[in-house]
Amino acid sequence: MPRLDLSVPCIMGILNVTPDSFSDGGRYNRLDAALHHAERMVVDGADILDVGGESTRPGAKPVSEAEELDRVIPVIEALSVRFDTQVSIDTSKPMVMREAVAAGAGMINDVNALRAEGAVAVVADVGVPVCLMHMQGEPRTMQRSPRYHDVVTDVRDFLLERARACEEAGIRRQAIVLDPGFGFGKALDHNLELLRQLPVLCATGYPVLVGISRKSMIGALTGRGVEGRLAGSLAAALLALEGGARILRVHDVAETRDVLRVSAAVCEWHGTGEGGKGESK
């Protein structure tokens, strides 16, 4: 099982095997289409493939455990055989987590921050890295007038509390990633403040994942539909990198990889090799 290396920022490519995800619902819910898209993302430079079988867009309807397993397990099994790239399972259901890891997933990405009964125990047992995301409310209602005392403090405190609960249950600190949950129970001003103050979350010492790709906040700022949000998504990705994000969860892998290459050259993330310091005079 590939090791999750966050010594440099990495790209998590989104692979939704659902009929109703906000950006690509229905495109990859056949196994052959999912594998073709996964191969494209691997070639384009994805470090992680995040497989999701239940849409978490605003207003999304819940999916049964059996249906979610039917959607994701064949895909994860096939990805694990064909590629060396790390596979992540995007789920909030403990049984799906367990079965996905048995099928080859090496990471769990939970928008519910392991709050489902038994979820923390499953992750502690299977021993893979986990991403804990902040969400106010739940997908069907989360965008109905979200309110915060202070969004950055509230999100940070929630994530640290969940991280402590995980560590107390035996999950290694080094295996925990935090995600502020852009667009999950947050208005535009909340999202912008979280991105502006991302260094506050990164200062917790846990690696931070940012998923802004093609989201409604990009549409609100640019006035563009989902398919026209590439430039805005790349701008947000660069800001997230500058704020300290270690994982970028994106739809557009090749373009985001170019952002990382340029940023790496300027910021010297790769030492004094290509893109490193010039000789002093």
Q: What is the mean pLDDT of residues 60-88?
A: 93
pLDDT at residue 38 above 60? yes
What per-residue confidence (pLDDT) applies to 57? Answer: 73
Percent of the chain with pLDDT over 70: 88
The answer on pLDDT for 163 being more than 70 is yes
**Residues tagged active-site:** 215, 249
pLDDT at residue 142, as a whole number: 61
Model confidence at 278, pLDDT cuts 50, 70, 90, reads very low
Give me the CATH code for the 10-253 domain, please: 3.20.20.20
Q: What percent of the chain has pLDDT over 90?
A: 78
State how far the alpha carbon of 149 is from the alpha carbons of 52, 82, 154, 190, 199, in Å: 32, 47, 7, 11, 19
- The average pLDDT across 18-27 equals 54
pLDDT single digits (tens) 101-146 = 999 999 999 999 999 999 999 999 999 999 999 998 776 666 677 8
| pLDDT of 1 | 46
- Summarize the confidence of residues 10-20 as an average pLDDT: 88
Confirm if 108 and 26 have CB atoms less than 8 A apart. Answer: no
pLDDT at 20: 47
Tell me the mean pLDDT in the region 162-179: 97
- The pLDDT value recorded for residue 25 is 46
pLDDT at residue 26 greater than cutoff 60: no
* pLDDT, position 138: 73
Question: For residue 22, what pLDDT band results from cuts at 50, 70 and 90?
Answer: very low
Q: What is the pLDDT of residues 219-277, one digit of tens each?
A: 999 999 999 999 999 999 999 999 999 999 999 999 999 999 999 998 765 454 443 44
Residue-averaged pLDDT of the chain: 89
